[in-house]
Structure 1
Amino acid sequence: MTRIQRRLHAVMLLMVLVILLAACGKKPEGMVKVTRSSLYTLVSMTVVTNDEAKAQQAIENAYKELERLEQLLNFYADDSELSEINRNAGVKPVKVSPEAFEVIEKAAFTSEMTEGAFDVTIGPLVKLWDFKKGVIPEKAAIAESLKRVGYKNIVLDKPAGTVYLKNSGSQMDLGGILKGYAADKATHILKKNGFLSGIVTVGGEVRTFGTKPDGTPWIVGIQNPRQKDQSDEVVATIAVSDKALSTSGDYIRFFEKDGSRYHHLLNPRTGYPADQCGSVTIVAEDGVTADGFAKIFVLGPEKGLQIAKKAGFDALFIDCNGKILMSEGLQGKIRLQKH
C-alpha cells in the first residue's frame, strides 16, 4: 500500500466507522450523507432528516464555505490571505478577513497553551520535509529553518484586523488546526439550516451534533496506529454527542529509512518527527480545539495528559508499545476492543 493509499484508507476507515457504527439499529428517521474532496482531504457531512432536498442544499452551502476557507487560508496558494501574511513577515502587518483573524488567533492561543508543541509558525519546516519523496533534510537546513519558527513572533491587532510576523522568513501553516475549524463552520451552517443532529468529518477531524435517529449518542472508532490486519483496525470506540474528536498519529503520512519511521508530525523544537507515542485522540467541545491540541502528540502521554487536564479537554494516548493511557474524563466512556 502506497503512502497516499494509506492516508486515504485511514480517512475512509474513520468515515466508515462513524457512519456504520452510527447506523446500527432501526432508524425512525433517515440520514442524508454527502462525501467529496475539500481542503485537500476527504470530507463527509451527514444529517438526520427525512427531507433529502433540504439536506442536500444545506450540505452544499456548507461545502461552499469550506471552499471559501480553503481559498483564504491555503498555505501553498500564492493568492491566499495566509500567503500574503507570510510574504510580509518582517515587513508590515496585513489586514485579513474576520475568519482568517479568528483561526489565527485560535492558533496562537493553542500554540501558547501547548507550550509550543503546536506552533503555527512551523511553515519553514513543513516546506523542508518532503514525505512523498521520502528524503530526510540536511541537518544544517533544519537548523536554519528552526531560526524562523516561533509563535511568539505573531502580532495580532484585533481592532485593526491585522496579522504581523515580526521575524523575517517566518511562515504560518494552519494545516494543524484548519480542518477542525472548518468542521465547526460546516456544523454551524447545518444547524443554522434547521438540522439538529449529524456528523461532519474533515480528514481525521470529527464534529458531532445531536444524536443518532434513535436518540442515542454517535459512536466513533479510534484506529490502531500499529494495525497488523483488518481484525485489529480499531482499538476502541467512544459514544459522543455535541463533541469534537481529532486524532494525530504517526501512521498516515510517513516513510521508513534505515529502520526508522519519519512521519509528518514534526516537533517544532527539534525540526524532526516526534517519537513519543503512536497516536493521540482529543475529545473537546469544538473542532478547532480538538484539532489544534491534538499536536500534544509531540509531548508524549505524561506531559500531554497534564496539558489536557489544565486546558479542560480529554485525551487518549496510545504509546509506542500499544499501551493506552487516557484522562480521567474518559474513564468509563471508552470501550476497548478485544482482538
Structure 2
Amino acid sequence: MIILMKFILLLVVIFLLSCSDNSERLFKETRSAMYTVTSVTVTCKDEKVAKKAIDEVFEEFKRLENMLNYYSPHSEITLINKSAGIKPVRVSKETFEIIEKSLEASRLTEGGFDITLGPVIKLWDFKSKIIPSQESIKQALSYVDFNKIILDKKEQSIYLSKKGMEINLGGIIKGYSADRAIKILKERGLKGAIVSVGGDIQGFGLKADLTTWNVGIQNPGPLDSKDELIGTVSFSDKCISTSGDYEKYFILNDKRYHHIINPKTGMPSEGISSITIIAEEGAFCDALATGLFVLGPTKALNKMQQKGIEGMIITDKGVRLMTSWFEKNFKTIKNPNSAIELRT
C-alpha cells in the first residue's frame, strides 16, 4: 500500500512538472540592431520555438539595415540619393513602402516630419557644440522639401527631383522595423510579444500572466532626473514612441540646442520637451512623434485631437497635455524603479 501511494505521488509530481513546463513563459533577447539597442520579448510555451522566432526577427532587422542604411554605399537609399536630379530609381517593395509612409506623415504634420532634412542635420555637430551659420543653414534648406520626392507606384520607383537632395529614414525606420517584427511574430503563431527598437515600442497580445504590457515614460526634466520615470502606460496591440529634447543636445550660453530640427527654420524646435504618441502602426508612431514635436504644443495637441492621435505632450515649461485615451490609461508614479517591461 505504501509503495502504491509513493507511486501515485510520483505520478502526480511528474504531471505537475509537465504542466508547469507547458505553461506560457516570457523569452527575451537584447542585441544591437537598427543602429541601436533592440529587444524582442515573446510569450511562448516552447523555448526552441521562441528562439527561432526571435532569431528570424533579428535577421529581418539585418536585411532592413542593409537595404535602408543611409551610410552604406550599397543601400537603396544611397542609390536614390546619388541619382537625385538625374533619374528615378527602381526600389524594393519595402523601400517604396517606407518612403510612401514618410510622405503621409509629412503631409499630416504639415512638413514637421521631413525625410529630406539630411543636408541641414549634417551641419549640426552636437559633440563639438557648434551652431551652424545662418548662411549655411539657408543653403542647406534649399534642398529640403518632401514635395520634391516623386513616387511612381507602377514602376515602384523613387525620384528626388533636385540635385543635391538626400533622404534619411532615421526618423521612421525604427518604427517601421518594429512593424515588420510584429508581423513575423504573429505569422509564427506567438500569442504575445513586445518589441523595442531604441525606445520605439510595439506590442500585441498579452504577457504570460495574461496582463497587458507595461511601458514606462521617461522624465524629460533636469539631468539628475533623466533616468527617472514620470509614469506608465499599459496597452496591447498598439505601439508607443517618444521624442524628447533630452536625447541629444548641448548647452551654450545657457541655451539648450537639441537634435529635433524644424525643417522650415533649420534650428531646434521650441515649445516641447517631450511628446509620447500611441498609435496602431509603428512607422507612423515614430514619424508622428518627431513631426508633431516640431509643430509646438498648441498646434500639435489640436492636430492630435482632430486626427484621433493619442498621446501626451510635456511642454518646455513642464506642463502636461494629454488626449482623452492617454489621460485614462496613464499612471503617475513616484518610484523610478517601478516594475516595467520597457521604457520609451
Give the TM-score of the pair, scaled to structure 2: 0.88
Which sections of structure 2, spanning at least 5 residues, go unmatched? Answer: 1-22, 336-344
- 2:214 counterpart letter in structure 1: I
User: Match for 2:83 among 82, 88, 94?
Assistant: 88
**2:30 aligned counterpart, secondary structure:** strand
| Map of 1:326 onto structure 2 | 322
- 2:310 counterpart letter in structure 1: D
Matched, 1:157 2:152: yes
**1:90 aligned counterpart, secondary structure:** coil
The CA deviation at 1:337 is 2.1
User: Match for 2:67 among 68, 72, 77?
Assistant: 72
The CA deviation at 1:232 is 7.3
Alignment of 1:223-242 (within 5 A): 223-227=218-222, 229=224, 233-242=228-237
- 2:77 counterpart letter in structure 1: L
| Map of 1:36 onto structure 2 | 31
Matched, 1:166 2:165: no
Runs of 4+ in structure 1 off by over 3 angstroms are 227-232
User: Match for 1:184 among 174, 179, 185?
Assistant: 179
1: distance between equivalents of 2:301 and 2:219?
A: 19
**1:175 aligned counterpart, secondary structure:** coil
- 1:276 counterpart letter in structure 2: G
C-alpha RMSD over aligned residues: 1.6
| Map of 2:264 onto structure 1 | 269
- The number of residue pairs the alignment matches comes to 313
| Map of 2:339 onto structure 1 | none
2: distance between equivalents of 1:238 and 1:247?
A: 12
User: Match for 1:302 among 273, 298, 301?
Assistant: 298
The Cα offsets for residues 149-208 of structure 1, whole Å up to 9 and x where unpaired, read as 000001100110000111221111110001000001011111111112010000020001
Higher-Rg member (1/2): 2
- 2:96 counterpart letter in structure 1: F
- 2:326 counterpart letter in structure 1: L
Which sections of structure 1, spanning at least 5 residues, go unmatched? Answer: 1-27
Matched, 1:121 2:116: yes
| Map of 2:340 onto structure 1 | none
Identity of aligned residues (%): 45
The CA deviation at 1:308 is 1.7
| Map of 1:314 onto structure 2 | 310
**2:237 aligned counterpart, secondary structure:** coil
Distance 1:228 1:262, change over 3 A: closer
